[in-house]
Structures are given as C-alpha cells and as structure tokens.
Amino acid sequence: MRFRSLLILLLAALSVTVSARNKEQQPPAVLIKALNILQNPGGASLNYKIDVAVFHRQGYVIFKGNKFQRRSKRTIDWFDGSTYWTMNRQTQVVKISNPKRSRRKDEDENASLTEQINKVRDDCLYSMVSDGSDWKITVRAQDKSAKIKNAEIWIDKANNKPTRLRVKLGLIWANIRLWNVTTANYSDVNFSFYPAKYPNAKIIDKREKNSK
C-alpha cells in the first residue's frame, strides 16, 4: 500500500471519530482540533514513517484539499487535483498520469482524497485514555462494510497534533509515526511538476490523449 492510500486512512480515521458528534456521546474536543489542523484550508505538512508488515517508508508530505507533494528517499510525487507526476530521484525519470482515469486503485483514491474522507460513515464507537504525554483514542466501526474497522490515534496533549496512528488492515496493523505537523498557507505551485526546475528530467507521459 502506498503512502497516498495511508494518508486517506489517517484523515478518514480521524473523520470517523469526529463524525460521531451526532451520537449520544460527543467526541473529545482534542480530536476535533486535531482534524482541523490536518484539514487546514491553507494546507498542512508533516514527516511520517510507515510500517506495515515488511513495508517500510519514510518521508515528508504537504497536502491541501486533495492536492499533495510527497518527498521520500527514492521519489518525489506531485498531484494538483487532476494530474499526477512521480519522479525517480536517481534516474530523473518523470511519469505523468491522470489518476481519475487510471485503473490503479491507489491512484483513484488519491485523485479524490476529500471524497474518500467524506465517504467514511459515522457508525462507530470510541474511547479515550491518557497515555503519557498523549491522549490515546480507540475507534471501532460498527458498520461491517466500513473501510476502517479499528484504529488507534495518539494526540499530543500540549498542541493537539496527531503523533501516531495504528489502523487495522485485514489481519495486520499499519503503524504510522507523525512529527513536525505544521499548518501554513501553501501556494498551489507546490503541487505541480515544473520541468524548468529539473532540466535533465526525462518525461514519460502516460495520460490518455483526451485527458491532456
């Protein structure tokens, strides 16, 4: 599973708990504040480390709505809401695609990040306990068709920023560490690839002709 899919899981897991506000028990205010940070209108950025069984990834991401820029040791990815670029740092090969038209599931998900979050249903149970310097919130979806059935979220008591997330994916758990969570007013230039900045890049355009 790629980072873009796990980013959806991160925001969706937080959305699950916040959407429970219509239930008898209200979600903790700290949880609503954490979601507001990640969905800041001007955008947010963070460093992450993902561990899922033998899958391990670490990097930095800026996201704003359904746009993002992701930087890891091997690649740089950009998505401006309609076009997706991925560049191999070593070879300088840049592949361009149109995620909304792609048959690849992970790209389809990232093409509609906000839509994916909005699909998360509010049928869930949650609990919160103190865990050192964090609040630990456990979420359990009652809907058997929910994409996320179990999640654990840690939120820093001092600044309401998420620091860790565990999401159950089938029989295994995805562990995501988060740090340097920051909000800002990010310009849209951050979410597109500009050839002038990479004069040695080799472009491979995989978009359909009618989508260019």
pLDDT (0 to 100) of residue 112: 40
In sequence order, what DSSP letters do the residues of 132-169 get, joined into one string? TTEEEEEEEE--TT-S--EEEEEEETTT--EEEEEEEE
The pTM is what?
0.78
Q: What is the pLDDT of residues 65-89, one digit of tens each?
A: 889 999 999 999 999 989 999 999 9
| pLDDT tens figures, 149-192 | 788 889 999 999 999 989 887 788 889 899 999 999 999 999 99
Least confident interval from 23-37, 134-148, 185-199: 23-37
Domains of the chain, each with CATH number or no CATH:
3-164+174-211 (2.50.20.10)
- Asked whether the predicted pLDDT for residue 11 surpasses 90, the reply is no
On the question of pLDDT at 110 being above 90, the answer is: no
Residue 8: in which H helix or E strand, if any?
helix 3-18
Rounded Cα gap, residues 29 and 16, in angstroms: 14
